[in-house]
Amino acid sequence: MSMLSFLKKKLPGSSIDYRIQPRKVKFVWQNTPVDWIPNQPFASYFINEINNILPAGEFWFCRLYNKVLPQITDEKLKLDVQAFIRQEAMHANAHQSANKEYLSARHIDIQRNLDIMNVLFTKALADKPFDLTVPAALEKHWDLFRLGVIATVEHMTCVLGKYALYNQKWQQLGADPEMLDLVKWHGAEEIEHRTVAFDLYRHLGGGYIARYYLSVAVIIGVLGLWVDGAAHIMKQDPRFAEYKPSLFRPWIWLEWYKQARHDHQLLPSPIWLIAQQIDYLMPWYDPVKEGSTDDAVAYLNRSPAAKRALQAAA
């Protein structure tokens, strides 16, 4: 056996034995109110901001994964990555539809938020960051750093996916079924493909120590972008005029914490989200243990948007 063959055999590959299933979905936004959780404008806006954050990042995931696809030597992992790409592209399209047909249609200015995400993912984290050519000797390191960012983000989205999938409070309050389905469908698919980003990162040489600085960067980045974007769309609503929502004003952070308390359960607590990152820093971290595939697939099989797409195709 050659040394190259030996190294290829030793590389970590796919950690799952099931097939990830990409699905088409179709959402209809005509009847979804701005306060899609009745009488809960803060939580409604806060979750609506996810529609602004995700599309640019998810399309970036797809571009980078397509770039490194030829480097994957584990055939099962290659299938996982291809399915992941198709799921992420569908996620991006679904959230784009919410941006255009729901938020913009209700005269909420989201372009500033979309522009920030586009700069981050099409400029700063591009193959040529800010149009600068990465030296050939550093290209693999640049790709690996970005794959590590995705793996770290995917741990957080899996955690958020679990929260969304199992949350019963929104439904109890009479949440709009279309937005409820969007967040639960997306959360369930995050659980279903929760192993892929971590498996790919390790397969292409990602190390353990990097998880620490990547986690710090991702937590600060995600929480900051989420609060900043939510503040921007909230301050367009006269109901929040007296609070002057801003990333740098304590009110929005305190209100987030309040809405996440046990007696409210409207949002995942920022402290809880940070605590959930601790498991990712452990040497024995295993994304398979981060959720139930059976529960995720059970929801995906009954998702109204997925059923609607199948009916449209038929």
Mean pLDDT of 45-54: 98
How is residue 170 written in tokens? Answer: 């929104």
- Can you give the pTM of this predicted structure? 0.94
Q: How far apart are CA 163 and CA 62, in angstroms?
A: 24
Confidence of residue 10 (pLDDT cuts 50, 70, 90): low
pLDDT for 312 equals 82
Burial class (CB in 10 A: 0-12, 13-18, 19+), 3: exposed
| Spatial separation of the C-alpha atoms in residues 3 and 15, rounded to whole Å | 24
The token pair at 91 is: 């996620």
Average pLDDT over residues 276-290: 95
Mean pLDDT of 251-273: 94
Q: 67 falls in which pLDDT band (50, 70, 90)?
A: very high
CB 182 within 8 A of CB 94: yes
Assess whether pLDDT exceeds 50 at residue 307.
Answer: yes
Rounded to the nearest 5 percent, the helix, strand and coil shares of the chain are 70, 0, 30
CA distance 277 to 274: 5
For residue 76, which phi and psi values (nearest 5 degrees)?
Answer: -65, -40
Residues 93-137 have pLDDT tens digits of 999 999 999 999 999 999 999 999 999 999 999 999 999 999 999
Q: Convert the pLDDT of each residue in 214-236 to its tens digit.
A: 999 999 999 999 999 999 999 99
Residue 240 predicted with pLDDT over 90? yes
**Average pLDDT for the chain:** 95
184, 207, 225, 311 from 296: Cα distances, Å: 9, 29, 27, 21
Confidence of residue 7 (pLDDT cuts 50, 70, 90): very low
The pLDDT score that the predictor gives to residue 4 is 47
Quick one: pLDDT band at residue 196, thresholds 50, 70, 90?
Answer: very high
Q: Which residue has the higher pLDDT, 166 or 11?
A: 166
Q: Which two tokens stand for residue 298?
A: 């059970």
State percent of the chain over pLDDT 70: 96
pLDDT tier at 11, thresholds 50, 70, 90: confident
**DSSP conformational letter for 288:** G
Report whether 170 contacts 284 (CB < 8 A). Answer: no
Cβ pair 147, 205 in contact under 8 A: no
Whole-number Å distance between alpha carbons of 31 and 208: 47
